């Protein structure tokens, strides 16, 4: 009765189409944008980049303003949980394991522990979802 999750989809970190539509169009090719951003990361100023690449400065600035930058302190990562819960989950990670795998492993362990703690009769149509929603929550009072 292992909990088997599914990896996030192939487009799961990409920018939404709506966000792309809201952004101004850049009159540079993808290769030029990439080159300008590489130069900016190396420390070059926008006006110097525009001069070296012989491109309009305003177009170079549009490309640079949309760059992703490293955040000095990550907060919750991809988890929409409290910071305390995030710290707990990050402690449970094994090496560089994806967070979704950590969550699957933790849920699997929880389901196994509940199954042992609260024995239940098996029905032929019982599934993992049935087990998940039918077991009592440990520490919760039913009013």
Note whether 92 and 71 are within 8 A (CB): no
**pLDDT tens digits along 52-91:** 999 999 999 988 987 776 666 555 456 677 888 888 988 9
Q: For position 141, what pLDDT does the model report?
A: 47
Note whether 99 and 78 are within 8 A (CB): yes
Note whether 64 and 40 are within 8 A (CB): yes
**Dihedrals phi, psi of 109, to nearest 5 degrees:** -65, -45
**pLDDT tens digits along 7-58:** 777 777 777 888 878 888 888 999 999 999 999 999 999 999 999 999 999 9
Q: How far apart are CA 129 and CA 3, in angstroms?
A: 10
Q: What is the pTM of this model?
A: 0.42
Torsion, Cα 15 29 33 78, to 10 degrees, reads 10
Parse the chain into domains and list their residue ranges: 17-65, 83-134
């Amino acid at each position: 009765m292992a909990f088997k999750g599914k990896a996030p989809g192939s487009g799961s970190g990409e920018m939404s189409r709506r966000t792309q539509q809201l952004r101004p169009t850049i009159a540079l090719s993808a290769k030029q944008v990439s080159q300008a951003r590489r130069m900016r990361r190396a420390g070059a100023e926008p006006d110097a980049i525009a001069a070296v690449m012989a491109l309009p400065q305003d177009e170079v600035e549009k490309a640079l303003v949309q760059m992703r930058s490293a955040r000095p302190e990550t907060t919750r990562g991809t988890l929409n949980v409290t910071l305390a819960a995030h710290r707990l989950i990050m402690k449970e990670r094994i090496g560089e394991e994806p967070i979704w795998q950590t969550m699957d492993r933790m849920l699997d362990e929880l389901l196994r522990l509940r199954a042992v703690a609260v024995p239940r009769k098996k029905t032929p149509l019982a599934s993992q979802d049935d087990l998940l929603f039918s077991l009592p929550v440990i520490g919760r009072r039913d009013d």
